[in-house]
Structure 1
């Protein structure tokens, strides 16, 4: 009997999606802010709007997310991840992408996270140059 093909996780962890971000997408709470950041990147790649909205802090959550059908995510690099308090953290990352046939671009952000009720939420972030 053939084993099912395991899809690599888009977050770049080198694990199968099911054992990596797929756990958080299925409802298990991410254990830390960096895991939540990775799972949110994967959710953007997979256009998983319900997960993105559910993990966005209620004070900042948009009503919906418009995905650009011409945008292709190319990779994620975590630059820094650190706790800033008992229930707060920051994750600095660079996400590379391409829109249509254009050249690659990158989003460099330091994101803020908060833990409430045992779950981490993305609050907001500062775009870096």
Structure 2
């Protein structure tokens, strides 16, 4: 992405002022919602290393193969971000995507945990 391009996370900010610094490792996500948005943008950009690095060790897969994924991500809507306590949060979101010309939507309630000042994705529950 070019520095002035809009961030794929849907924030309306330029990528360089939004998810870009998180993807580059320049700073950690300040909230579970920011991490979720940065992870969505990482799926759009196929940044496997970032996705694995921000996935909690207890649930992290050994590898991802986004190169084989022909999904076209179309947009993200964050419906709710709830902080349970200082180290636990949830994010309710809907992501729209297309595979082989057919539209799909992923509605998930994701769980996050903060350890050593960094937020990590733990897992998610698919919602109807």
The interval holding the TM-score normalised by the smaller chain is over 0.9
Measured after TM superposition, the shift of residue 69 of structure 1 is 3.7
Q: Given the two structures, how large is their TM-score scaled by the length of structure 1?
A: 0.93
Partner secondary structure for residue 82 of structure 1: strand
Measured after TM superposition, the shift of residue 99 of structure 1 is 0.3
Partner secondary structure for residue 29 of structure 2: coil
RMSD of aligned Cα (Å): 1.2
The answer to whether structure 1 residue 15 and structure 2 residue 13 are counterparts is yes
Show structure 1 runs of 5+ residues with no match: none
Measured after TM superposition, the shift of residue 100 of structure 1 is 1.6
Partner secondary structure for residue 7 of structure 1: coil
CA contact (8 A) 2:3 2:14 kept: no
The answer to whether structure 1 residue 82 and structure 2 residue 82 are counterparts is yes
More deviation, 17-26/60-69: 60-69
CA deviation profile, 1:47-88 (whole Å, cap 9, x unmatched): 000000000000000011122442100000001001011210
Match of 2:106 in 1: 107
Show structure 2 runs of 5+ residues with no match: none
Q: Given the two structures, how large is their TM-score scaled by the length of structure 2?
A: 0.94
Q: State the distance in 1 between where 2:63 and 2:114 align.
A: 22
Partner secondary structure for residue 94 of structure 1: strand
